[in-house]
């Protein structure tokens, strides 16, 4: 009987110890919530950032403000300035670019342009976007600004305008140069500017293979272009943007992908090899698409004009300031978003076109998500005695 009691105590003690060990082992797994899921995302890149393009929301970051060498990812800014020039009608896609000796001597990634050779702006953009051509980048820089240093000044000015506070460009193509540095966050900012303002860039950077024709003193020859961004073939939703590599910068990329209404930008800098860059890109994009839902209201509904007091017109047409976009990363039901208009019953003249007269507020379960201003669509002048006299006289005669 005494033996049985000792055995029972030992059994209970052993069982409790085993149970405690099991609970401690399982607890870390059971305690992981949706908010802790970033722990599962650990890219090998020295620096990384995921951004949703429409709202500019940063979904994930790792050392995102560390200044590093961008290699050919630099060309995103070069392309941005080229498209700005097209928008301003400073030149057209059919304009002819003449290659200088300086541009032809760039080396590195190139399409072997020769001094004196000519290509259209359109073909130069193809060479930069598809083949990451250093010679084409410098030729376009000289064409746009007169010289590469002048173009680099424009690049740095644009960087400041976009809030790229940790960026210094020394050249337009990304070849190694002392002080040529940027960050994952800054790359995401210029990438967002390029793809949202000039979405036609995707018509170039998604092309897998194309050709240009060299026209030199030796005659005509066709040259093949193959895209440096292998992610286009490895990820269903990939649609850009720009790769980069040097021995010092390692493997860099600013990749874009679109799925449903979402457009993501993933920036990876100083990846150790191509394989890890591809694996990390896929993990980052999957992570972003799984977490994000976008609420959009394009605000295309017509608004009822507001009655005007003491104005030269009786009503004021009004318009939304733009669309409402809200990115949710918490899995909330965005179909429950409520939109409320706040507008005055009437408004006193004078009113200037563009004046804010109200707003549309968006709430979810009582929480404000954001708002869009409502503005005057035209100017309404204050009525004076002369206006009323003429109005009364016309009424009498009519």
Strands (DSSP E) contained in 99-174 are 118-120
Catalytic residue, chosen from 72, 100, 137, 191, is 72
Structure tokens at 8: 């029972």
Q: How many CB atoms lie within 10 A of CB 279?
A: 15
Is 14 labeled as catalytic in the residue annotation?
Answer: no
Place of tokens 């000519």: 118
Q: Both tokens of residue 186? A: 């800054």
Helix, strand, or coil (residue 9): helix
Distance between CA atoms of 36 and 32, rounded to whole angstroms? 6
335 catalytic residue (yes or no): no
d(CA 234, CA 257): 12
Is 75 one of the catalytic residues?
yes
**Catalytic residue chosen out of the listed positions 109, 132, 137, 191:** 132
> Which tokens go with 202?
């995707």
Specify whether the CB–CB gap between 234 and 282 falls below 8 A. yes
Residue 243 DSSP SS3? strand
CA distance 168 to 173: 13
Peptide bond into 17 cis (omega under 30): no
Residues paired with residue 284 on neighbouring β-strands, in sequence order: none
Catalytic residue among 62, 75, 242, 250: 75
Q: How far is CA 146 from the centre of its chain?
A: 29
Interior/surface letters 205-241, b for 16+ CB within 10 angstroms, e for the rest: bbeeebebebeeeeeeeeeebebbbbbbeebeebbbb
User: What region does 235 belong to: left with phi over 0, alpha with psi -120 to 50, or beta?
Assistant: beta
Q: Which residues are catalytic?
A: 72, 75, 132
């Amino acid at each position: 009987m005494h033996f049985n009691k000792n055995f029972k105590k030992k059994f209970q003690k052993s069982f409790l110890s085993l149970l405690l060990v099991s609970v401690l082992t399982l607890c870390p797994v059971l305690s992981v919530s949706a908010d802790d899921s970033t722990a599962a995302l650990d890219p090998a890149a020295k620096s990384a950032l995921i951004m949703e393009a429409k709202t500019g929301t940063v979904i994930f970051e790792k050392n995102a403000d560390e200044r590093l060498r961008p290699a050919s990812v630099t060309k995103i800014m070069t392309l941005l300035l080229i498209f700005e020039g097209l928008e301003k009608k400073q030149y057209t896609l059919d304009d002819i670019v003449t290659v200088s000796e300086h541009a032809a001597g760039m080396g590195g990634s190139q399409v072997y342009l020769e001094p004196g050779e000519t290509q259209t702006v359109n073909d130069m953009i193809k060479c930069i976007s598809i083949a990451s051509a250093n010679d084409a980048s410098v030729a376009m820089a000289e064409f746009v600004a007169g010289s590469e240093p002048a173009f680099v000044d424009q690049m740095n000015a644009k960087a400041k305008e976009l809030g790229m506070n940790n960026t210094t460009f020394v050249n337009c193509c990304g070849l190694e140069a002392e002080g040529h540095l940027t960050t994952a966050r800054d790359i995401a900012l210029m990438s967002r500017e390029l793809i949202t303002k000039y979405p036609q860039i995707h018509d170039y950077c998604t092309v897998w293979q194309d050709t240009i024709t060299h026209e030199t003193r030796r005659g005509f020859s066709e040259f093949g272009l193959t895209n440096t961004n292998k992610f286009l073939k490895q990820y269903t939703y990939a649609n850009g943007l720009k790769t980069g590599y040097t021995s010092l910068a390692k493997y860099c990329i600013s990749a874009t992908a679109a799925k449903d209404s979402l457009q993501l930008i993933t920036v990876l800098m100083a990846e150790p090899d191509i394989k890890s860059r591809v694996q990390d890109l896929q993990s980052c994009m999957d992570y972003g698409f799984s977490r994000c839902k976008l609420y959009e209201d394009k605000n295309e509904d017509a608004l009822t004009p507001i009655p005007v007091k003491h104005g030269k017109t009786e009503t004021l047409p009004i318009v939304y300031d733009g669309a409402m976009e809200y990115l949710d990363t918490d899995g909330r039901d965005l179909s429950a978003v409520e939109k409320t208009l706040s507008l005055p019953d009437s408004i006193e003249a004078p009113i200037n076109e563009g004046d804010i007269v109200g707003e549309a507020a968006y709430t979810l379960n009582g929480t404000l998500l954001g708002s869009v201003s409502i503005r005057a669509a035209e100017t309404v002048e204050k009525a004076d005695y002369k206006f009323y006299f003429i109005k009364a006289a016309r009424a009498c005669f009519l």
